[in-house]
Every structure is written in structure tokens, then in C-alpha cells.
Amino acid sequence: MVLTSKTYDDLVVGDQASITRVVTPDDLYVFAHLSGDLNPRNLPSTGEFGAADDGSAAPAMWIGSLFSAVLGNVLPGPGTTYEAQTLRFHARAIVADSLTVTVRVQEKRPPRTVILRTFVERDGETIADGVAEVRAPATRRSIADTELPRLCVEKHANVDRLLAVCRGLAPMVTAVVAPDEEMALRGALSAARQGLIEPVLIGSAEKIRGVAAECGLSLGGCAIEDVPSHDAAAARAVELVHAGSIAAIMKGFLHTDELLHQIVKTQGGLRTSRRLSHVFVMDAPALAGLLLVTDAVVNIAPTLEDKVDIVQNAIDLALALGIVGPKVGILSAIETVNTKMPSTLDAAILSKMAERGQIRGGTVDGPLAIDNAVSLTSARTKGVVSAVAGRADVLVVPNVEAGNILAKELTYAAQAEGAGIVLGAKVPIMLTSRADDERSRLFSCAVAVLYNAWRATGQSVVPSGPSPTAA
């Protein structure tokens, strides 16, 4: 599209031009960043799926700024210089309103000054009007309609959505193993304050109390199991599960292998008939829904038999999180079967096993490359026809290296918020990184609470959410 200006001589009194614009939650966030205006009246009120509710009003000056798009692009167009603007606001625009922004030439003042009436309408009602004074371009200019770089507003609406659902559920009694570092202890106490867990702090009581005192954290209401080492803390957590007093385990400030060593023991561990596997639940700003990645932590080089359980664990979690009929993409480097690439053979077999009911609850397809698993555009361009391609809710990686790279790329390059949980044991295990912040730990607690609720009834308490589909 080419934008062509009108010169002063081209303009006639009565000329007018309009554009339409729909108010979105992102408009409110971007304007708040640009202006520094943090008035809560003009910030989105987060509702279901992160859509702003009808109470979210667009800032008045954001509405006023819309005239610039008409004046600078259409009438007079490129080369116009804004000199003055009066504004009066008669009503507020709210999110989802469709606005018509109009400018009309009212007067010409030599040598190049143009006076224009400006007004914004919603369903025929004028909600803002005023007068603009501009200097029209001296010569006609034509420019290409520039495609600006995309803006991605970093927000994690799905995390908020799941945390909101958990407020109606009873807290889990949770063994917090070795919370002897600030973020590990702070995350557990924050989850307790939000009603997600009832923490049983297991570790060196002296160290735990020392961290709490140093950071100004209250341990009021928290049970403490005093044990001498991290290994002993993990063993005690397992004992409490067998005693029936613990509904979940949360990793504190210890190595993953120290915790799992006690859990996977053949005698006295927490194994079930299902293989243990880890799932990252990712909420990426660029995706509408949750994206599950498995296994990036526990199974280093899973066999086909291992992958059957890995897929089933992930499907179960997706169902617990309100993902109806989850779509599972089995990843490889390509989207066709190649006998020299074992991951493609595993993917094809897993897909067929799901068709035959050996894997239940979701639609499984593969092999799929990462691009055509999450992008409809990529899938269509490559001619990949599949119920999963471009729509995957779950990504199953071929090995731990691929999973680790993918999960960390989503976290650090795509600004995703991630929860980590191990499934297949007698209780869910919140396996967060020692570097995870407080919000990530809350997210992991919420996922575990919702999974336990689903296990108890076979029904998700989460309203079905959007697909994570990318463009």
C-alpha cells in the first residue's frame, strides 16, 4: 500500500478522511509504558484468558493520539506537521470498542496552515472532538506503508488464570525439601500465603530459621522437620508420603538428583507402574494458550517404551489443566519418517499407538519439526496436513538435550513463565530450578494443585483454555 499526501493547494474545505481502530488490552499496556501513566482506571482488568473486562477504559490521551494516524497517513498525509490540537472528551472508550477516527478540513490559512475538525465516534456517538492545526506538505509525497517491527507485550495471562482457579481449592500439604536458601523458602511461604500449599519444611531447622531471619520472612504456622542433610531431607519427604500425611513434594535448594535418588528407589521409593517423567508447563506471551514440553529433565535418552509413559503423563496433565483433547506433537528434526533418524520412527509408532488406544486422552502425531508443530503458517507452507501440526498443546522431545534447550529457549528468548512438575510417582513433585523466581514456584504449585484435583475426580476444575497456536 502506498500513502500519498495532499498539498495545501490540493486540499478543499470539506475534505475528510477516517480510520477505524479497535481498543485492545495491549494498547493500554503500551500507552502506560510510553506515558508512565499507571492510573489503574486505564489498565486492563484481567478476566478469563487474560482478556480485559468491560471496566477497562482507554486513556483519554490515547484516544487523542489517534488523530495523528489520520493526519500523518491520509489527510493531508505524509509530510504533515502537527502544530496544535484542542480536545474535549465526552465519554470513555473501553476495551473491544470499535472507534471511527475522522478529520475534516474546516479552513485554510495561507501560506500552508490547515484547520481541521477532529472527532472520534463509537456507534455513531461522538466520544471526543476538537480542532487540529497542521502545516500541510508543500509538495506531494508518496511513501510505502511501512511495516513496523512487531511488539509483544510480555504478560502471562494463563498463569493468572490457573492461580485464580486454585483459590477455590483446598491447599495441598506439601513437603518442601531443603528450603535453606532465600528463593526456595520465599517461594514456599508465598505459596502458603496464597492458599496453594500447607508447607512442611524439611531440612536443617537452624539454616531454615537463619534464612527466614535474614530475609525478614515469617515461619508462623509452618511445620519444620529438622534433619541433618539434603539426602536425609529427601528421604524424610518420601517417608511422609508413605505415611499418608503428604500430598505433594516441592524441591527446595538441592540438586535434582539428590531428590530423585530417594524417589526412584526400588524399595521404599515412590515409583508406580508409570515411568517418572518431567513436564514443563510454559506460558509464553506470544502464544494464546499453555504449551507443555516433555521430558527435559528426568529421562536422558528415553526408549520407545519410556516415551509411551512420557506422552501419557503429559496428556494427563494437559487434561488436568483444562486442555480439552490435547494435541501432542512428537518432535524430530524433520516431519517425515527416516530410518536413519530413530526419533522419527518412535514418533510414527507413538502416533499409531495413540490411534489404536494404547495412548489415551489426546491426539498424537509425528514426526513433526518444531516449526510445523506450533506454527500453522509453517505447517501449511510445508504441506503438513495433520490435526496436530500448527496446533500442538504438548511437545515431546527426542532426548533430554533437545528438551533442555527448547525449555530454556522458551524461558530466556521468548520470555515464557514456566512451571516444572514430575509425574508418574505416588504424588506430584514440583521440580523447580534452584534459580527459579518466586512466581515460577507459585506457578508450579498451581499446576500440582490442579493435577491432584483432577486425579481425585477424573475431571478438570479448569475452564477450557485457548490453543497455543502461533501464526
466 inside domain: no
Same domain, 203 and 287: yes
SS3 content of the chain, % helix, strand, coil (to 5): 35, 25, 40
- For residue 323, the model assigns a pLDDT of 94
- The tens place of each residue's pLDDT in the chain, 471 residues long, gives 788 999 999 999 999 999 999 998 888 989 998 999 888 888 876 443 334 344 689 999 999 999 999 999 999 999 999 999 999 999 999 988 999 999 999 999 999 999 999 999 999 999 999 999 999 999 998 888 777 777 767 667 888 899 999 998 999 999 999 999 999 999 999 999 999 999 999 999 999 999 999 999 999 889 999 999 999 999 999 999 999 999 999 999 999 999 999 999 989 999 999 999 999 999 988 888 899 999 999 999 999 999 999 999 999 999 999 999 999 999 999 999 999 999 999 999 999 999 999 999 999 999 999 999 998 889 989 999 899 999 999 999 999 999 999 999 998 888 888 999 999 999 999 997 766 778 889 999 999 999 999 999 999 999 876 667 655
CA 371 remoteness from chain centre? 18
165 inside domain: yes
Same domain, 293 and 194: yes
* Strand ranges for 309-406 from DSSP E: 327-331, 363-368, 394-396
248 inside domain: yes
Dihedral sign, Cα of residue 404, residue 405, residue 410, residue 413: positive
HEC states along 271-307? ECCCCCEEEEEEECCCCCCCEEEECCCCCCCCCHHHH
What residue numbers bound the domain in which 219 lies?
157-326+393-457
Identify the domain boundary among 122, 144, 166: 144
339 inside domain: no
Same domain, 319 and 232: yes
Same domain, 128 and 170: no
Same domain, 96 and 203: no
Same domain, 164 and 125: no
Q: Which amino acid, residue 460?
A: S
Cβ contacts of 9-16, under 8 Å, gap ≥ 24: 10/140, 11/75, 11/76, 11/105, 11/108, 11/114, 11/136, 12/105, 13/105, 13/106, 13/107, 13/108, 14/104, 14/105, 15/75, 15/104, 15/105, 16/75, 16/102, 16/103, 16/104, 16/105
Same domain, 184 and 293: yes
Identify the domain boundary among 144, 169, 201: 144
Same domain, 161 and 140: no
Same domain, 62 and 170: no
Interatomic CA distance for residues 348 and 344, integer angstroms: 6
Same domain, 255 and 161: yes
Check if the beta carbon of residue 238 is closer than 8 Å to that of residue 248: no
Same domain, 191 and 163: yes
Check if the beta carbon of residue 424 is closer than 8 Å to that of residue 274: yes
Identify the domain boundary among 144, 172, 191: 144
351 inside domain: no
Angle between helices 304-320 and 342-355 (to 10 degrees): 50
Quote the number of domains for the chain: 2
User: Within 10 A of 126 (CB to CB), how many other CB atoms are there?
Assistant: 14
Domain containing residue 297: CATH number: 3.40.718.10
353 inside domain: no
465 inside domain: no
Check if the beta carbon of residue 27 is closer than 8 Å to that of residue 97: no
Interatomic CA distance for residues 460 and 452, integer angstroms: 10
